Amino acid sequence: MYGRTPNHREAVDEAVRAVEAATEPTVTAEDFGTLSEVLRELDQDGRWVLPMSLEWGTSRRVTDPGPVLAGMVKTVWHGQGERHGSPTSATPVSSREAETIVMTAVALVHLFTAGLVRQATP
């Protein structure tokens, strides 16, 4: 994405693969979860928690981060057209679009690989 000859499409494709790999152990029961499978799971109300602290030091959890996480995944999912031969696959990815997708993917990968996103206990 950055450099003398940036390849925005490749950066976006790698971002999609990174999110799939990072979310799979937490979100899907499959050996390899696609972003559509991840979205289906994240859209289920009340199943996901993030650790959060308030300024005064008490702990609480966000009541339902699933829709926020799903929105982030949808932002990354937007860039995967080439992988599935969609009509948008021939459309070049702008540098700003690639940066948005890649930086959103970075946040998602960190949240999931650090164990910050987990399923709520019933």
Per-residue pLDDT of the chain (122 residues; tens, 9 = 90+): 778 888 898 899 899 999 999 998 888 766 667 888 888 888 876 688 888 764 444 555 446 788 889 999 999 988 776 555 555 555 678 999 999 999 999 999 999 999 999 888 76
> What is residue 121's DSSP assignment?
P
| Phi and psi, residue 83, nearest 5° | -65, -25
Contact 28, 41 (CB under 8 A): yes
pTM (predicted TM-score): 0.81
Distance CA 82, CA 47 (A): 31
Identify the CA nearest to 44 among candidates 30, 28, 59: 28
Instruction: Spell out the domain ranges in the chain.
Output: 8-119
User: Which alpha helices (DSSP H) does the chain contain, by range?
Assistant: 8-27, 35-42, 66-77, 95-113
For residue 101, the model assigns a pLDDT of 94
